Every structure is written in structure tokens, then in C-alpha cells.
């Protein structure tokens, strides 16, 4: 049985549990405990603070973990990164008070920088030959400059709203992060096989995200035009109709472009266009 570490509460919890659930690893969230046996897959979920997940996986107290890449990079422990999971996107950036003039990385020489990610920042400064003082704070890093604790900060940014409301501007984007699946590097063959199964399920779930299944009737005379408008995994499916002047055309499309595509299809004579939700795509 696999033991999977997941953030107990916080930004990654909900999407981690949703991904597991979509992948057939269901957990009864009602009687929520520290350790819960999953249904439908030989796994148990251990709920932890995200900071503790890399270490728990590195020492083998959990086989797999779902955690932000930022935490994995900061801890620098020996874990295998198996897969990016496509949620929890953010970046680690340097930000300075907006009243200051930014002159490039040398700006940070001799400055005090507050951060919860001292190791990532130390390496970045080292690589770039910057000599700054790194002050490690856990908690609200973004208030450090106003509070006189630091000249600048190195922190997680997603929309940038928190920076703006604290009078800061982002001046260097250092690391991009998203949730990742990590594994203990010495998993047994059996556990690795289960982990691989889980990875291909996660991939199928992700492939289905942002996609729709489109079905429509097209006059035979417009079939070539319709096909040239449509992307497809291999090639669109064409099914004859009882009326031989028409056929049914079916394919998977990106949700992003959906409305433009529908307008173009209507223009060439497509009718009865159905847009269906799509759950998973196994390639
Ligand atoms: P815990 O109690 O588990 O230690 P936390 O307070 O350290 O939680 P959260 O704020 O829940 O952490 O964030 C978890 C992860 O979500 C981050 O490590 C990061 O990978 C990701 N994340 C995505 N966007 C943001 C954001 N805007 N601010 C903070 N974290 C973000
Ligand atoms: Mg944390």
C-alpha cells in the first residue's frame, strides 16, 4: 500500500484531494483524521503541513507527496520529482518598496532581505555574485520593509495583489513553482508500479481539463472545410447519417477557443452543434 502525504489545510489541500479523487483514490473527508485509508486504490493519505512533506517523503515515512515545488527546492532533500500537477502555480520573487529605484541585481548588495525561503535565495545570490543579508522570517514577510525589518523581500507571488497593497514592486522573478508529485527515491518495485499507475491517471485527468467534446451535423459539401477548422487527437470522427447529404462530425477541442470555433462552424453550415463535458483522456 502506498502512503501519500497531502497538505492538511491550505492552498493545495482542496485541489490535491480533487485530483486524487478524480484518479480513483477516494477519501472520506468527513471523518477527517491524520491518516485515512483510501477507497478504490491501495493507498492511505497522511495529512501534514506542507513544510513537512518533503522530509516525510525523503525519510520514507510517506512514499509519495503532493507539495509545492518551492518547498521541495527550499528543503533540498533527496526526493524524486515524478510529475508536475498543473495547480498551485506561483513564483518566488524579489520585491522592493515602490519608492525605490531599481538598478538591477546589484541593487541588493548590502541590503537586508526578508524571506521564508533562505536557501533558494542564498543559492540565487551566490550564483549571481550578490552579497546581501538574508533574514529568515516565517509569517508575513511582506510587511517586513514597512516594519523596518528589511529593505526588500523574497516571497511567493501569484497575482501580485499582496505586494501592491504593501507598497512593494516585484523586480526579479527567481523561481516558478507549481504543485508536484514527489516520491521517496528508494521505493520498492511494487510501490513504484502503483506510483506509475497513479501518474498515468493524473495525466489522464489533466489531459481532460479545459477540453470539450464537440458533436455536430455537417453537410457533405462542407465536410472538408469543417475538418480543416477542427483540431483532433488523430483526426475527427465522421459518421454517416440516414440522410446521405449530411454527416456527423465529432472531436475534442480546447475550451479556450470554443466560441470562435462554433461561429466558424456555423458559417460553413454546421448545425445541431453539441458541446459535451469531458472527464478524462487516456492517450
Ligand atoms: P501549511 O499550514 O501547510 O504550512 P502554508 O501557510 O505554508 O501552509 P499555503 O499558503 O497553504 O502554505 O500555500 C501552500 C502552497 O501553495 C505554497 O507553498 C505554494 O506552493 C502554493 N501557492 C500558490 N499560490 C500561492 C500564493 N499566492 N501564496 C502562497 N502560496 C501559494
Ligand atoms: Mg507551510
Q: What's the confidence (pLDDT) of residue 205?
A: 96
Q: Which residues pair with 83 in a beta bridge?
A: 181
Question: What is the residue with the minimal CA distance to atom 26 of ligand 1?
Answer: 158
Q: What's the confidence (pLDDT) of residue 283?
A: 87
Residues with CB under 6 A from ligand 1: 7, 10-12, 49-51, 68, 70-71, 88, 90, 156, 158, 177
Radius of gyration of the chain (CA): 25
Compute, in degrees rounded to 10, the torsion defined by CA atoms 233, 234, 235, 241.
Answer: -80
Cα–Cα distance, 68 to 7 (Å, whole number) = 10
**Contact present, 172 and 111 (Cβ < 8 Å):** no
Look up the pTM and report it: 0.91
Q: Kindly give the distance from the C-alpha atom of residue 145 to the centroid of ligand 2, in angstroms, as a whole number.
A: 22
Cα–Cα distance, 148 to 127 (Å, whole number) = 27
Which triple of cell numbers denotes residue 18?
480533487
Ligand 1 atom closest to the Cα of residue 89 is 23
Q: What's the confidence (pLDDT) of residue 30?
A: 73
Question: What is the residue with the minimal CA distance to atom 11 of ligand 1?
Answer: 10
Q: Of 51, 90, 175, which is best to mutate to test ligand 1, by the most ligand atoms within 8 angstroms of its C-beta?
A: 90
Q: What's the confidence (pLDDT) of residue 33?
A: 86
Question: What is the residue with the minimal CA distance to atom 29 of ligand 1?
Answer: 156
What are φ and ψ of residue 171, in 5° steps? Answer: -115, -25
Helix 189-208 × helix 13-22 angle, to 10°: 100
Q: Kindly give the distance from the C-alpha atom of residue 10 to the centroid of ligand 1, in angstroms, as a whole number.
A: 6
CA quadruple 52, 58, 61, 64: dihedral positive or negative?
positive
Which triple of cell numbers denotes residue 12?
493545495
- Taking the chain (283 residues) in runs of 10, the rounded mean pLDDT of each run is 96 97 90 88 97 98 98 97 97 97 97 98 98 95 95 96 95 98 98 98 95 96 94 87 96 93 97 96 91
**End-to-end CA separation in angstroms for the chain:** 26
Amino acid at each position: 500500500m502506498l502512503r501519500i502525504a497531502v497538505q492538511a489545510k491550505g492552498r493545495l489541500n482542496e485541489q490535491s484531494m480533487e485530483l486524487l479523487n478524480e484518479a480513483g483514490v477516494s477519501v472520506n473527508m468527513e471523518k477527517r483524521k491524520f491518516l485515512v485509508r483510501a477507497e478504490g486504490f491501495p493507498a492511505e493519505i497522511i495529512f501534514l503541513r506542507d513544510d513537512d512533506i518533503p522530509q516525510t517523503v525523503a525519510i520514507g515515512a510517506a512514499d509519495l507527496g503532493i507539495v509545492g515545488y518551492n518547498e521541495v527546492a527550499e528543503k533540498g532533500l533527496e526526493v524524486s520529482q515524478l510529475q508536475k500537477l498543473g495547480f498551485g502555480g506561483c513564483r518566488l520573487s524579489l520585491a522592493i518598496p515602490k519608492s525605490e529605484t531599481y538598478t538591477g541585481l546589484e541593487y541588493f548588495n548590502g541590503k537586508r532581505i526578508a524571506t521564508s525561503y533562505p536557501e533558494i535565495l542564498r543559492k540565487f545570490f551566490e550564483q549571481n555574485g550578490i552579497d546581501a543579508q538574508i533574514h529568515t522570517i516565517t509569517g508575513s514577510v511582506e510587511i517586513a520593509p514597512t516594519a523596518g525589518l528589511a529593505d526588500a523581500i523574497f516571497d511567493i507571488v501569484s497575482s501580485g495583489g499582496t505586494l501592491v497593497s504593501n507598497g512593494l514592486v516585484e523586480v526579479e522573478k527567481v523561481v516558478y513553482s507549481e504543485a508536484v508529485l514527489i516520491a521517496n527515491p528508494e521505493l520498492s518495485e511494487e510501490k513504484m508500479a502503483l506510483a506509475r499507475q497513479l501518474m498515468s491517471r493524473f495525466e489522464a485527468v489533466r489531459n481532460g481539463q479545459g477540453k470539450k467534446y464537440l458533436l455536430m451535423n455537417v453537410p457533405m459539401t462542407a465536410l472538408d472545410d469543417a475538418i480543416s477548422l477542427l483540431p483532433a487527437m488523430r483526426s475527427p470522427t465522421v459518421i454517416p447519417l440516414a440522410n446521405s447529404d449530411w454527416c456527423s462530425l465529432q472531436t475534442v477541442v480546447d475550451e479556450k477557443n470554443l466560441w470562435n470555433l462554433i461561429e466558424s462552424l456555423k458559417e460553413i453550415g454546421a448545425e445541431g452543434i453539441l458541446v459535451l463535458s469531458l472527464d478524462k483522456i487516456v492517450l
